[in-house]
Amino acid sequence: MNTFGQALRISTFGESHGLGVGCVIDGFPAGIVIDTALLAAQMQRRKGGQTPYATPRKEEDKVEILSGVFDGKSTGAPIALFIPNTNTKSKDYETIKDIFRPGHADFTYHEKYGARDYRGGGRSSARESAVRVASGAFAKMLLQELGITCESGILHIGTHKGENIDFAYAKTSEIFALDKAVESAQKHAILEARKNGDSIGGCALVRAFSPNGALKGLGQPLYYKLSGAIGAMMMGLNGVKALEIGDGIESSTRLGSQNNDNMDSSGFTSNHCGGILGGIGTGEEIRIKIYFKPTPSIFLPQQTIDTSKQPKNLSLKGRHDPCIAVRGSVVCESMLALILADMALLHTHTRIDSIKDFYNAP
């Protein structure tokens, strides 16, 4: 169950303190020029060790392409990626190998599997998200060919919420802040949490758009809708506890006459639905909010138990993000790219007329 997608399938593997993390990308179409600069740029955005707002763990995050590329292009064969772990300090974890860290998957993995790789969370570590970003970069190479763009940024940190959204500004911000006006308050909140040995929650905003209408029709009713796939991927990400599409919760407090998106001859006159109706892309901007809990790893003393159910006072060591939402936003953007790339492939065989065109083409 370590696979996502239908036509474009990603199977990931690897642990936080093992040899590395990686994946197999299956179904990637042949003939796409592999844009290694794009790949490196995306990895750079997710990387820790660069600012006080992210984990001090500094991984090179160099992506090795093990297969599926020849003469600089995809061949249609599976593309395997491997990202070696180079900066593991497993000793940090020796002392807590029998202790369940609060808010972590330690207890549940122990219950499920009977034992666990305790070093840095093992398989449950956010380290795996490096692979989501790497494979997401490949999805972006595909979407680029179709004229689809995915972007992201930070909407709120703790209770500091951005109002005036600027995706271009987010690209320049150390915390990917979407609203310059609240950026320094947001940064301050992260540093304050960090200084106190604590952590803080936040919210990412992700969008996708296509000037040439390529989002129109994407989504596979009824159990692989665009909304359903977004729900699967975003809610399945470490630390995510809530999700909104379009106006989200706000919509649930409205009247129908307030919430429906009307149309005129030039198209939709509003976009409360966030670019998705009936689980299918309307062609309008897709807009999603993803809510992250605070990093469970904090340095303040906590009450917990060990594998023998004995109470323990725990004071964690190690290197952790004070706010997982920041780097998490890049992961969410990457996952939306993966979803849209998959949907774009599936959509090619929806109607017999275009299938016939394909088989009659010279």
Sequence letter at residue 46: R
Task: Give min distance, CB of 81 to a second copy, in A.
Answer: 10
Residue 244, classed as helix, strand or coil, is strand
Q: Which letter does DSSP use for residue 63 in this model?
A: P
DSSP string, 76-133: SS-EEEEEE-----GGGGGGGTTB--TTSSHHHHHHHHSS---GGGGGGSGGGHHHHH
In this structure, the number of other CB atoms found within 10 A of the CB of residue 76 comes to: 14
Task: Give min distance, CB of 37 to a second copy, in A.
Answer: 19
Q: Which is nearer to a second copy, 42 or 129 (CB)?
A: 129
Q: Which is nearer to a second copy, 41 or 300 (CB)?
A: 300
Q: Which of 22, 30, 145, 35 is nearest to 77 (CA)?
A: 30
What is the Cα–Cα distance from 162 to 289, expressed in whole angstroms? 12
Q: Which is nearer to a second copy, 124 or 152 (CB)?
A: 124
Task: Give min distance, CB of 114 to a second copy, in A.
Answer: 5
Task: Give min distance, CB of 45 to a second copy, in A.
Answer: 21
Q: Which is nearer to a second copy, 47 or 320 (CB)?
A: 320
Residue 201, classed as helix, strand or coil, is coil
Task: Give min distance, CB of 6 to a second copy, in A.
Answer: 7
Q: Which is nearer to a second copy, 168 or 313 (CB)?
A: 313
- Kindly state the tokens that stand for 83: 């990202």
